[in-house]
Each structure stands twice: as C-alpha cells, then as structure tokens.
Amino acid sequence: MKEIEDYIIESTYSFTSSDGLEINRRIGMIVHNLFTCRRGFAGNVVEIGAGLGNTTIHFLKTACSYNKKVIVIDPFEDFDAGVFGGYLYDEFLTTIESEVESKQECLILYREPSQEKGMKNKLIEHLPIAFAFVDGIQDTVENVLSDLVLMAELDTKVICVDDVNSNNPKRKKIVSSAVFEFIKNHPYNMVENINPKAHIREAYIIKE
C-alpha cells in the first residue's frame, strides 16, 4: 500500500486551501490518481454524505471513465437546521445534473441514512469498493464509527473521513474520536506526512 499512500501525500501538496470547493477538488484528484496508479485500483466509490454534490461530480468523472459506480448514501438532511429532505436534495441534483446526463448509469443513489437496516446488504451488491468518503457532519461518535466499521466490513481499500480537523471543535472531537477508535480495532492505518502547511480537513485511512 506504500504507492497508494505516496499518491495521497503528493496530492495534498497540489491543493492546499481549506476552501470547501478546493477540498472537493483535492479529494476528487486523489481518487483520480489512485485509479491511475500502477498497482491498479479496481472497485467502486462510496460517498456517505454527499451534501450539495460538489465532491460527487469529481467522483463521477473518474469512476465512469473506468466503468465503475459511485454509490451515494445520503438522506439529504440539513444537519444544522434539522430539516429532513429539504432544499439539499434539489441542490444536489442541480450540482450533478451535467454529469448525470452523460453518466447516469454510473450513479447509484440511496436516499436514506447510512445506518439504515439492510444498508450493508445493499452495498454488498456493488463490491468491490476501492474508495469511500465518510462525511463527518454527524451528531455522535457512534454514528461516524458505524460508517467506518461498515466500510471495513466491506473490505474498502481507502477511507477518506471529512472533518477530522474541522474548525468546529465539537465536530472535530466527534470525528477524531471515532477515527482513532476505529484504527485501534481494525487493520487500517492513517496516512501521515501530508502537507503540514495546509489545513487538510480530512484524513485518509488505508487498509493494511
């Protein structure tokens, strides 16, 4: 997995801003680089928490070019406002509209919580999974940990966890606690030595 780790580290030096859209581009570029690395990176992409779709469009561009799927899991709830199924879903569709017109066969959408009963069985239909993105905007350590464990049970190669270094202290504590608890009990390691001069909000965890 050393080559995969090197691709991730190198990519963190290309996009160094903490701006939201640049973070989306960085994660998208990392997925693209992993799919093109010499070792090969076969499998589908899972995105738990797509929000407005700004990362989804990057996943679609890469995955579809390799005949892979992007599986999006999101109830499209406005976490901060407590609104379920509100404007977020419409904005998500607007964001990805141009990509879906030509890549509709690549997108699988589960508009429900990732902790929904039966989600694992649904994802088993789309194995193998090469890369998973887990959004950290959740209200408990248990929810974030549940998503990480789910991805580990599906033998996911690389897991990207957002908000490990969030500017929101409460969110940072929840997500970082879940990540360290996960690593302690599962055969995954966090990528170290990423660009120290950039505010890298997300963490990358690689299966041993």
Give 134's pLDDT tier (boundaries 50, 70, 90). very high
Question: Is the per-residue pLDDT at 83 higher than 50?
Answer: no
Q: Which domain holds residue 18?
A: 2-207
| Type of residue found at 28 | G
Q: Over 90-128, what HEC string results? A: HHHHHHHHHHHHHHHHHEEEECCCCCCCCHHHHHHCCCC
Q: What is the pLDDT of residue 157?
A: 93
Q: What is the pLDDT of residue 59?
A: 93
180: domain CATH number?
Answer: 3.40.50.150
Query: Could you tell me whether strands 70-73 and 44-48 are parallel, antiparallel, or unpaired per DSSP bridges?
Result: parallel
Residues in the chain: 208
Report how many domains make up the chain: 1
Q: What single-letter DSSP state applies at residue 177?
A: H
Q: What is the pLDDT of residue 34?
A: 84
- Between CA 42 and CA 14 the distance in angstroms is 24
Q: Prior bond to 187 cis, omega within 30?
A: no
pTM score: 0.89
Position with higher pLDDT, 23 vs 70: 70
